[in-house]
Amino acid sequence: MKIAQILFIFLLVIAATISGCTPADGAQTKHAAHGEHAEHEQHTVWVTSPKQQDVTITQQFVCLIHSRRHIEVCTLQSGYLEEITVKEGQKVTQNEPLFTIVPALYAARLETERAEAQVARIEFNNTKKLLEENVVSSQELAIAEAKLAKAEAHVKLAEVELEFTVIKAPFDGIIDRLHEQHGSLVDEGDVLTTLSDNSVMWVYFNVPEAQYLAYMADESNATETHEIELVLANGRTFSESGAIGAIEADFNNETGNIAFRADFPNPNFLLRHGQTGKVLIHRTSKDALVIPQRTTFTVLAKRYVFVVDEDNVIHQREIVIEHELEDVFVVKSGLSVNDKIVLEGVAQVHDGQELKHYEFRSPDEALSDQKFHAE
């Protein structure tokens, strides 16, 4: 029995010697190979480069919509409203009659003044004949002439007062709510309605000082073009494009903002006075440097990327972001189009590390799966 066991052990030793390793050694070798492969996969990162091209940058501002002309229509005389020739919401044209105040009193006054003027004219003619006959002096003629001029002035005043009993539209527009009804007793200066000229709408919005300075620099240097859109309360974009019509003279010291005015044509009269919305200013920046946001990381409120040099050594570099878009950064400084930056695997690398395995993706491919696409 002992001889058989010794023989069996002897055969195992010979087999192990021939194979060059024990079963345990083979398992260790396989595990080491697997670990090396895993380490290889772990340290393989994706690298790309920034891309330089035109991009559209959108700034959004809350706005208030005004009619180009929006006035109160008031009475110029006192009396009863005899006639209202318009309805609420009606479109009217310039010089179209809107309201009529009972004109009887003013018509009677006009007739009285005309009669007084006729008397003064007769007195003037008689005095003129008497002067020719040397009966009266030239001073008396001058007095008669002055009385005639005064009487004629009273006639013109009475004519104007009579005209004021008919209130007309000063320009084309839309009638708002009627504040008085037929038969109402109104006094001079009472508001009857409002009239809005909605052919062109003035859209006001506040711009922070930094963005104001950037806008003025763009305009003076002609480095960027601006396209202005209006988004209405229902989320839809207004069909017409606008243009900056005016910038107010003063900043609001409390908010640090300045008011801009964008002018929008309103051919279908969809926009009305008092509406609200959002102004979108699209700025086309020429030859902007664009990188995916996921290539960056933040340390103490500063933005960094990992740059791969010619020797495949990684260096941490600070960059300055000019604009932040959806999934994309526009870089102001810190990078060039020739730099290689880590795209995938930022968390797996560190400053000073030498990359032994990495894959390069073109800038177009790196940006193709972003929500924002550079133009």
Q: Report pLDDT for 355.
A: 85
Mean pLDDT, residues 72-80 taken together? 89
Q: Report pLDDT for 150.
A: 93
CATH (residue range 45-52+288-368): 2.40.420.20
Q: Report pLDDT for 170.
A: 94
For residue 332, what are the contacts with CB-CB under 8 A and spacing of at least 6? 319, 320, 321, 322
Residue type, 133: E
Q: Report pLDDT for 20.
A: 46
Report d(CA 82, CA 129) in Å as an integer: 48
Task: Say what the pTM is.
Answer: 0.67
Q: Report pLDDT for 130.
A: 87
CATH (residue range 59-67+202-286): 2.40.30.170
* Digit-coded pLDDT (tens) for 163-216: 888 899 999 999 999 999 988 889 989 999 999 999 999 999 999 998 899 888
Structural domain boundaries of the chain? Answer: 45-52+288-368, 59-67+202-286, 83-183
Q: How many helices (H) and strands (E) does the chain have?
A: 6, 19
Residue 43 pLDDT level (bands cut at 50, 70, 90): low
Q: Give the max Cα distance, the chain.
A: 181
Q: Report pLDDT for 54.
A: 86
* Digit-coded pLDDT (tens) for 267-278: 999 999 999 999
Q: Please choose, from the candidates 369, 286, 306, 298, the residue with its C-alpha nearest in 3D space to the C-alpha of residue 49.
A: 306
Report d(CA 64, CA 362) in Å as an integer: 45
Burial of 196 (0-12, 13-18, 19+ CB in 10 A): buried
Average pLDDT, rounded, for the chain = 85
The answer to whether residue 31 scores a pLDDT higher than 60 is no
Report d(CA 168, CA 97) in Å as an integer: 4
SS3 category, 120: helix
Instruction: Extract the runs of DSSP E, i.e. beta strands, from 75-116.
Output: 79-84, 91-92, 97-101
Polymer length in residues for the chain: 375
Query: What's the CATH fold of domain 83-183?
Result: Helix Hairpins (1.10.287)
* Digit-coded pLDDT (tens) for 329-374: 999 999 999 999 998 878 888 899 988 888 898 888 888 866 544 4
β-partners of residue 57 are 283
Mean pLDDT, residues 124-151 taken together? 88
Mean pLDDT, residues 39-58 taken together? 78
Relative to beta strand 358-360, strand 45-48 is: parallel
